[in-house]
Amino acid sequence: PPGALKISVIGCGYLGAVHAASMAELGHEVVGVEVDVEKAEALAAGRVPFFEPGFEELLQRSLASGRLSFSPHMKAAAGAAVHFLCVGTPQRRGEYAADLTYVEAATASLLDVLGPGELVVGKSTVPVGTAARLAELVAERVPEAALAWNPEFLREGFAVQDTLHPDRLVYGVADSAAGGAAGAGAPPVDAEALLDRVYAPIVADRTPKVVTDYATAEMVKTAANSFLATKISFINAMAELCEATGADVKQLADAIGHDDRIGRKFLNAGLGFGGGCLPKDIRAFMARAGELGADQALTFLREVDNINMRRRIRMVELARQVCDDSLLGKRIAVLGAAFKPDSDDIRDSPALNVAAQLQLQGANVRVTDPQALPNVRRQWAQLDCVDTPEEAAEGADAVLLLTEWRQYKELDPAAFGSVVKTRRVLDGRNALDREAWEAAGWTYRALGRRNV
């Protein structure tokens, strides 16, 4: 199609794979570079190495169009007009700071093939200051190339929708007033115009666009995730008070959420946030603020993290309470292992953290999940995994709903009650229909609600 570009996507994990296929869907000719040969081969064969609704269809459609290919070699990226950096920035082992090893390695290897007039576009979540540093490296090696920062806000479970129909586009570009990273004259590549071409259909959709300097673009991402984490921990702090006062956090959230300055989204109290982004991003943000001498500005995030981690401990306590004050030898069914529904991601999963603590306290735990079990079996060999909620609940002293998959919300409490030993259910996500479960003879307990 007119305006189509040759694009490379470096790093085809979750973010990169979805981005690559989406760019092909927009009409561009895309090569995904993935150093993990097996992963590159799987993607090239149309197999998705993770669970994401709608993604397999998109991947196969893009491959069939002939506009998408994958390669384990960086030289496949040569000649692309735009190179997207989509490698991961995990939390460093034993530290709060982000590990930039992959970003640095990918940039170094990209610089070997980068040509004049080309644009490097960072999408990874990085500590503020990274883009400016990478822009210098680009300017040193290929003065006629440029770098932009274009953060990605996709949610797991909605990755395709979020990529093709984002709420906003953010372009962090070189400060041309300062003469660009190269330090002289106009920037060598018009990054904004080129990104507009990449995202032409999205721009034409009147998607809001914010063009900023590098530091702002990097911060937009960490600020957004910090806000979301804070919103969740706020309602979970209210849940603690509700437990102390006998108030009901779900009604509280509904009532304050009607104020559209507050909004009901992300006010679901329960086990709190996990996953590969929110926990590590707020920690990396605190670490970076410390390096910049601005740690006071983010001390509240430590509290956000603490409130979040306390929910898991509270869940274990609640389980012990309903099991007559001892978990020893009790059979506990854990429904849900992924960090949230519609995902097989178990990184920093609150559900697995709770399951492991219950087991440590002597409970006999059985975990089930519609998608995440292969990952659980690989990484949490000590946990007993079963395929269905009925198997998990067989003879159970208590059932814990820890990830609110639709199929668990739709369980029939009467029929399900016939497999357990004692009808006790703990709703870690405030997702079950309390009245229906109580009507079927279950003792219902939840975080942040009256537990009598």
Active site residues: 277
Taking the complex as a whole, the smallest distance from the CB of residue 228 to ligand UDX amounts, in Å, to: 6
339 or 444: CB nearest ligand UDX: 339
Residue whose CB is less far from ligand UDX, 96 or 266: 266
Measured from the CB atom, is 70 or 273 closer to ligand UDX? 273
Task: State the nearest-atom distance from the C-beta of 41 to ligand UDX, in Å.
Answer: 26
Stretch that binds ligand UDX, among 1-9, 85-93, 154-162, 198-206 (CB under 6 A): 154-162
Alpha-carbon gap, residue 442 to 417, rounded angstroms: 8
Two tokens, residue 129 = 């200051």
Q: Are strands 29-33 and 6-10 parallel, antiparallel or unpaired?
A: parallel
The only residue of 182, 228, 284, 411 in contact with ligand UDX, by rule CB under 6 A: 228
Instruction: Tokens 């700071």: give the residue.
Output: 97
Nearer to ligand UDX, 122 or 272 (CB): 272
Q: Which stretch binds ligand UDX (CB under 6 A): 71-79, 112-120, 261-269, 315-323?
A: 261-269
Residues between 278 and 307 with contacts to ligand UDX, criterion CB under 6 A: 278
We find the least distance from the C-beta atom of residue 441 to ligand UDX, in angstroms, to be 29
| The one segment of 148-156, 241-249, 379-387, 438-446 that binds ligand UDX by CB under 6 A | 148-156
Torsion, Cα 275 54 44 100, to 10 degrees, reads -20
Shortest CB 280 distance to ligand UDX, Å: 10
Examine residue 267 and tell whether it contacts ligand UDX (CB under 6 A): yes
CA pair distance 339, 350, nearest whole angstrom: 6
Which string of x and - marks every residue 322-341 that binds ligand UDX (by CB under 6 A)? -----------------xx-
Tell me, letter by letter, the H, E, C secondary structure of the chain.
CCCCCEEEEECCCHHHHHHHHHHHHCCCEEEEECCCHHHHHHHHCCCCCCCCCCHHHHHHHHHHCCCEEEECCHHHHCCCCEEEECCCCCECCCCCCECCHHHHHHHHHHHCCCCCCCEEEECCCCCCCHHHHHHHHHHHHCCCCEEEECCCCCCCCCHHHHHHCCCCEEEECCCHHHCCCCCCCCCCCCHHHHHHHHCHHHHHCCCCEEEECHHHHHHHHHHHHHHHHHHHHHHHHHHHHHHHHCCCHHHHHHHHHCCCCCCCCCCCCCCCCCCCCHHHHHHHHHHHHHHCCCHHHHHHHHHHHHHHHHHHHHHHHHHHHHCCCCCCCCEEEEECCCCCCCCCCCCCCHHHHHHHHHHHCCCEEEEECCCCHHHHHHHCCCCEECCCHHHHHCCCCEEEECCCCHHHHCCCHHHHHCCCCCCEEEECCCCCCHHHHHHCCCEEEECCCCCC
Place of tokens 């007009």: 81
275 binds ligand UDX (CB under 6 A): yes
Question: Does the footprint of ligand UDX cover residue 268 (CB under 6 A)?
Answer: yes
Q: CB of residue 328 vs ligand UDX: minimum separation in angstroms?
A: 29
Asked if 156 interacts with ligand UDX (CB under 6 A), we say yes
Least Cβ distance, residue 349 to ligand UDX (angstroms): 8
User: Rounded to whole angstroms, how far apart are CA atoms 153 and 143?
Assistant: 30
Q: How many residues bind ligand UDX (CB under 6 A)?
A: 19
- 232 sits near ligand UDX (criterion: CB under 6 A): yes
Residue 274 touching ligand UDX (CB under 6 A)? yes
Select the span of 74-82, 129-137, 265-273, 443-451 touching ligand UDX (CB under 6 A): 265-273
Question: Which residue, 336 or 417, has its beta carbon nearer to ligand UDX?
Answer: 336
**Binding of ligand UDX at residue 86 (CB under 6 A)?**
no
Instruction: Output 157 or 188, the one with its CB closest to ligand UDX.
Output: 157
Residue 89 in contact with ligand UDX, rule: CB under 6 A: no
Residue selected from 188, 272, 413, 417 as contacting ligand UDX according to rule CB under 6 A = 272
Separation CA 20–CA 183 (nearest Å) = 32
Does residue 153 interact with ligand UDX by CB under 6 A?
A: yes
- Nearer Cβ to ligand UDX (188/276): 276
Q: Is 155 in the site for ligand UDX (CB under 6 A)?
A: yes
Q: Pick the piece of the chain touching ligand UDX (CB under 6 A) from 150-158, 165-173, 182-190, 238-246.
A: 150-158
Q: Is 51 in the site for ligand UDX (CB under 6 A)?
A: no
Binding site for ligand UDX (CB under 6 A): 153-156, 225, 228, 232, 266-268, 270, 272-275, 277-278, 339-340
